[in-house]
């Protein structure tokens, strides 16, 4: 054991060679760096391109007050004028109803999966169903609600039906992300709470969920962003209206995706084309603003650090 | 405020695996009892059965009796939540609630159990932080997050949080193993002080620490990997470290183990 040490002279007068990487390693390093940067640039190209196109072609309509306060009532594809107020309201109302229904179910489902059902057959079944739901195309969700809402119950095509189908799309997104966030909460915090004689349900409500709150909000925003751009449920479950309609239980409703779709048919005409780009930009901005708001909420709901 | 713990014939299982076998001991009120022994000998597992914390792990169960002043913690109808209100716990790694301020961390046990009286909370927080030797360091920043403190301060914050609910017994699972020597000293001083009011049980890997802080010491060992851990010997600390009655204890504390 000790012979190696003993045989080695204390100081042999030669300095260790610690310089430089070998040629092949330096080459591989450069190659990998170039590839990674290239991948980043390639991924960035479509994003920047889309943003540039939408902003440059759509921004000028957004500068007018009419855009934010007027509907398209009486405006034909050949005419300029009118606004997107009806569509913005429609999109927001339907998204809000969707969130109000989907978020509580999703969060409670995630709490069940992480805190109560771990390893049980019921949890595995729920998890499996959520996976399937994640893969359901929006048009299938829309047709399902059409079958239930209109064919079976005989109701009319209204905004609320759209929200119901959007719930099916939003639920798995929010549930999965919430589940991941709850899993990230260390067990030590749960144990610390139990050790204070706090019951499990209160531990979840006051310790686990608040700790994961920022992540849960992000998941809700991802879900909302997905849902607000969906078009198939709008086409199938509510007709496009150029008028302002804020009642989700009665009549057709405008929405930004269907507004884009409406004018898209006459894209060769300048007024219609302008509105298409402006509506697209409005939709992007809407999602962005909601995102920022949610982040603010998440920040102010936790205590300030330092 | 401090109760006697009497354990008799306690076995702990994880599913089919027997982790701890046939432990019996008496822990006197207002004393410090240290558990020492090699890793995996079941001392932490056993500690957790004293406030039914092991039940957090699915499949964990217990045979035998744990009496807290005549009341069996495992009698039918006993609520583990109620048990944990009288038997508090401090963990290996400091775990303040990250979403709460220093004040709220200490008040959390009371707040989460429904106490809303602001005046009472303020009093309890001050008393607990003083009791945990932390008041002077944090009194000017009670509204700052608990996670912003140093490791040693966080651990004292966790102790303050534990004593704020006025338990009878405080269990400590290697409370100093993540701390530097100075913070360790602060915790040890604190343990000395806590024993005036509480029954303290501490698991430690540091034998000097056991010798410094405890009145009696229990040595746990296991025959081989996969075998259950057993209580080898429990005696006044002085006796364990000077004149243990078991050969295994002597081997362990003199470092001739294994």
φ/ψ (deg, to 5) at B64: 110, -170
Using an 8 Å CB-CB cutoff, list chain A residues near B102.
none
Q: Is B143 in the A-facing interface, judged by CB distances under 8 Å?
A: yes
Residue A299 forms contact with B (CB below 8 Å): no
- ipTM value, please give it: 0.89
Instruction: Tell me the CA distances in angstroms from A233 to A99, A158, A252, B36, one per residue in order.
Output: 16, 11, 13, 65
What is the spatial distance between Cα A169 and Cα A141, in angstroms, rounded to a whole number?
A: 7
Subunit contact A302:B85, Cβ cutoff 8 A: no
Categorize the per-residue pLDDT at A306 as very low, low, confident or very high, splitting at 50, 70 and 90. Answer: very low
Angstrom distance (rounded) from CA B140 to CA B196: 28
With 0-12 CB in 10 A as exposed, 13-18 as middle and 19+ as buried, what is B65?
middle
Q: What is the pLDDT of residue A1?
A: 45
CB pairs under 8 A between A and B: 91
Instruction: Specify the residue for token string 């198939």.
Output: A232
Helices (H), B43-150: 43-49, 80-86, 102-112, 118-131, 135-138
DSSP string computed for A255-276: -HHHHHHHHHTTTTSHHHHHHH
Query: A203-261 pLDDT, tens per residue?
Result: 999 999 999 988 899 899 889 988 998 999 999 999 898 888 888 898 899 999 999 99
**Mapping DSSP to helix (H, G, I), strand (E, B) and coil, where does residue B33 land?**
strand
Cβ–Cβ gap B53/A195 under 8 Å:
yes
Contact at CB, A188 and B97, closer than 8 angstroms: no
Of A190, A198, A210, the CB nearest to B99: A210
Window A:171-210, CB contacts with B under 8 Å:
186-200, 202-203, 206-207, 210
**pLDDT one-digit tens code per residue, B81-134:** 999 999 999 999 999 999 899 999 999 999 998 888 999 999 999 999 998 889
Pairing type for strands B32-36 and B199-203 reads: parallel
Residue A235 CA to residue A243 CA, distance in Å, equals 16
Chain B residues with CB-CB distance to A206 below 8 A: 108, 112
Tell me, yes or no, if the pTM score tops 0.80: yes
Pairwise CB contact (< 8 Å): A196 & B165: yes
B81 with A189: Cβ contact below 8 A: no
B177 near A CB under 8 A: no
> What is the distance between the alpha carbons of residues A302 and B188, in angstroms, rounded to a whole number?
33
In this predicted structure, the answer to whether residue A82 has a pLDDT above a threshold of 70 is: yes
Is the Cβ–Cβ distance between A175 and A123 less than 8 Å?
no
User: What pLDDT does A6 receive?
Assistant: 60
Which residues share a beta bridge with A73?
none
- Which among B82, B93, B97 has CB closest to A207? B97
Nearest C-alpha neighbor of B257 from the set B231, B226, B219: B219
Q: What is the percentage of chain B residues whose pLDDT exceeds 90?
A: 57
Strand-pair category, B5-14 with B60-68: antiparallel
Query: Does the distance separating the beta carbons of A191 and B53 come in below 8 Å?
Result: yes
DSSP A88-125: HHHHHHHHHHHHHHHHHHHHHHHHIIIII-TTSHHHHH
Check whether B236 has a pLDDT greater than 50.
Answer: yes
Identity of the residue in B58, B98, B109 whose CB atom sits nearest the CB atom of A197: B109
Region B137-152: what's the mean pLDDT?
Answer: 90
With beta carbons less than 8 A apart as the criterion, state whether A259 and A273 touch: no
Kindly report, residue by residue over A1-48, the tens digit of the pLDDT.
445 556 666 677 777 777 766 778 889 999 999 999 999 999 999 999
* Binary contact (A186, B100; C-beta < 8 A): no
What is the model's pLDDT at position B27?
93
Task: Return the residue of A nearest to B143 by Cα.
Answer: A303
What is the model's pLDDT at position A16?
A: 78
B185 has which bridge partners? none
- Inform me whether the pLDDT recorded for B18 exceeds 50: yes
Q: What is the mean pLDDT of residues B40-65?
A: 89
> Tokens 């302008």 — which residue?
A274
Domain locations in chain A?
Answer: 67-301
Q: What percentage of chain A has pLDDT greater than the value 70?
A: 94
Specify the pLDDT at position B97: 93
CA A107, CA A223: separation in Å to the nearest integer? 12
Whether residue B84 and residue A195 make contact (CB cut-off 8 A), yes or no, is yes
Q: Hey, which residues 48-77 in chain B have their CB within 8 Å of chain A?
A: 51, 53, 56, 58
| Residue A171: per-residue pLDDT | 95
Please report the pLDDT score of residue B86 as a whole number. 92
Which residue of A lies nearest to B113 if distances are taken between CA atoms?
A: A198
At residue A301, the pLDDT reads 66
Rg (CA), chain B: 18
Section A158-171 average pLDDT? 94
| Closest CA in chain A for residue B160 | A196
Distance (Å) from the alpha carbon of B238 to chain A's nearest alpha carbon: 31
* Residue A264 dihedral angles phi and psi, to the nearest 5°: -60, -35
CB contact under 8 A, A196 and B108: yes
Burial label for A44, CB within 10 Å (0-12, 13-18, 19+), is: exposed
Question: Which tokens belong to B119?
Answer: 């005046």
Interface contact B161-A186, CB threshold 8 A: no
Are the beta carbons of B97 and A189 separated by less than 8 Å?
A: yes
Measured over the CA atoms of residue A185, residue A187, residue A193 and residue A198, the dihedral's sign is positive
What are the C-alpha distances in Å from A81 to residues A67, A87, A91, A112, A169?
Answer: 8, 15, 20, 51, 34
How many beta carbons lie within 10 A of that of residue B186, not counting itself?
A: 20
pLDDT, averaged across chain B: 90
pLDDT digits (tens, 9 = 90+) for A276-297: 999 999 999 999 998 888 888 8
Helix axes A270-301, A85-111, angle to 10 degrees: 40
Which residue of A lies nearest to B100 if distances are taken between CA atoms?
A303
B134 three-class SS:
coil
pLDDT of residue A280: 94
pLDDT at B42: 87
Predicted pLDDT of residue A5: 55
Sheet with B17-27, side-by-side order of all strands: B71-72, B60-68, B5-14, B17-27, B229-236, B216-222, B32-36, B199-203, B169-173, B87-90
Max mean pLDDT range (A57-66, A96-105, B224-233)? A96-105
pLDDT at A303 over 80: no
CATH superfamily, domain at A67-301 = MetI-like (1.10.3720.10)
Res B182: pLDDT: 86
Give the model's confidence band at B1: pLDDT under 50 very low, under 70 low, under 90 confident, else very high.
low
Chain B touched by A300 (CB under 8 Å): no
Q: How far is A212 from chain B (nearest CA, A)?
A: 9
| Full set of structural domains in chain B with CATH | 5-100+169-254 (3.40.50.300)
Within a 10 A sphere around the Cβ of B188, how many other Cβ atoms? 19
């Amino acid at each position: 054991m000790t012979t190696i040490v003993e045989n080695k002279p204390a100081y042999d007068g030669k300095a260790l060679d610690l310089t430089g990487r070998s040629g092949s390693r330096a080459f591989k390093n450069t190659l990998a760096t170039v590839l990674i940067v290239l991948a980043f640039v390639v991924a960035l190209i479509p994003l920047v391109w889309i943003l540039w196109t939408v902003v440059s072609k759509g921004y000028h309509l957004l500068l007018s007050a009419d855009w934010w306060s007027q509907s398209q009532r009486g405006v034909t594809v050949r005419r300029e004028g009118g606004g997107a107020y009806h569509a913005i309201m429609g999109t927001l109302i339907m998204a809000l109803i969707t969130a109000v229904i989907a978020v509580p179910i999703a969060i409670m489902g995630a709490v069940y999966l992480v805190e109560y059902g771990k390893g049980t057959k019921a949890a595995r079944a729920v998890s499996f169903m959520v996976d399937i739901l994640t893969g359901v195309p929006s048009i299938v969700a829309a047709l399902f609600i059409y079958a239930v809402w209109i064919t079976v119950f005989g109701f009319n095509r209204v905004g609320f039906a759209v929200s119901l189908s959007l719930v099916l799309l939003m639920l798995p997104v929010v549930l999965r992300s919430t589940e991941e966030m709850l899993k990230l909460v260390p067990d030590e915090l749960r144990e610390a709470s139990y050790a204070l004689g706090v019951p499990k349900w209160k531990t979840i409500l006051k310790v686990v969920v608040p700790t994961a709150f920022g992540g849960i909000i992000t998941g809700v925003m991802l879900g909302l962003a997905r849902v607000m751009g969906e078009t198939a449920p709008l086409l199938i479950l509510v007709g496009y209206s150029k008028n302002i309609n804020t009642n989700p239980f009665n009549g057709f409703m405008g929405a930004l995706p269907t507004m884009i779709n409406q004018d898209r048919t006459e894209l060769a005409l300048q007024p219609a084309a302008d509105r298409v780009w402006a509506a697209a930009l409005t939709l992007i901005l809407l999602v962005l603003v909601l995102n920022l708001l949610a982040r603010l909420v998440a920040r102010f709901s936790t205590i300030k650090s330092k | 405020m401090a109760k006697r713990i009497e354990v008799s014939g306690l076995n702990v299982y994880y599913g089919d695996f027997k982790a701890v076998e046939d432990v019996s001991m008496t822990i006197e009120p207002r004393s410090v009892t240290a558990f020492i022994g090699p890793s995996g000998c079941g001392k932490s597992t056993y500690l957790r059965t004293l406030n039914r914390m092991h039940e957090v792990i699915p499949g964990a169960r217990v045979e035998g009796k744990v009496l807290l002043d005549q009341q069996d913690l495992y009698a039918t109808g006993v609520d583990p939540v109620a048990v944990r209100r009288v038997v508090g716990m401090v963990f290996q790694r400091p775990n303040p609630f990250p979403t709460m301020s220093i004040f709220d961390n200490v008040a959390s046990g009371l707040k989460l159990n429904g106490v809303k009286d602001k005046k009472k909370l303020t009093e309890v927080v001050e008393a607990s932080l003083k009791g945990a030797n932390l008041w002077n360091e944090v009194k000017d920043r009670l509204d700052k997050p608990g996670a912003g403190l140093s490791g040693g301060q966080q651990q004292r914050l966790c102790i303050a949080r534990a004593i704020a609910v006025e338990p009878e017994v405080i269990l400590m699972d290697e409370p100093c193993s993540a701390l530097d020597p100075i913070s360790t000293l602060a915790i040890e001083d604190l343990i000395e002080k806590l024993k005036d009011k509480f029954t303290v049980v501490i698991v430690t890997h540091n034998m000097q620490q056991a010798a410094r802080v405890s009145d009696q010491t229990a040595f746990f060992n296991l025959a081989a990997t996969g075998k259950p851990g057993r209580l080898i010997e429990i005696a006044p600390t002085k006796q364990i470290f000077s004149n243990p009655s078991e050969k295994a204890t002597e081997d362990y504390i003199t470092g001739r183990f294994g």
